[in-house]
Structure 1
Amino acid sequence: MTTKDWYDRLVPIPERAWINGGTPEPSNLVPWTVHTLDEADIEFWQGTLEASLVDQVTSTLTSYLAGRSD
């Protein structure tokens, strides 16, 4: 997740996509990165996003990893 907006193919997080939680500034998901976090690295809970947005980002990541540009 980032507040930057100049990267190609970012997925904006609309305010309505937050089931609970949120961000203080408009934010975007970066679908071409995968991070594994250790529990000690998590400082606070950000929130929960609608499944449809998570599915969209997962599909974009899968295409990216497979070398497709759909």
Structure 2
Amino acid sequence: MFSIQFLLVQWRTTENLLNLTRLNMRYACQYVLYIYFPFIGKVIFFYMFFLHKNILAIEAEKKENKIHTHT
């Protein structure tokens, strides 16, 4: 997926930006909101999506097991 090094670089750039814009924090907050929130949202979405698929698979398996036990 993505490496820790990439995240560290991202954090460094964010930190530098925060240091540069200590006087006007509003722009730094906007930067963080626009860059990181969609990323976090995507991660949560994919996590939920795969979790949902797994739950459906488990449910299907349970039904299959019930059918096998009855016959």
TM range (shorter): under 0.3
More relative contact order, 1 or 2 (CA 8 Å, 6+ apart): 1
Q: Which is higher, the Rg of structure 1 or of structure 2?
A: 2
Please give the TM-score of this superposition, normalised by the length of structure 1. Answer: 0.27
TM-score (norm 2): 0.27
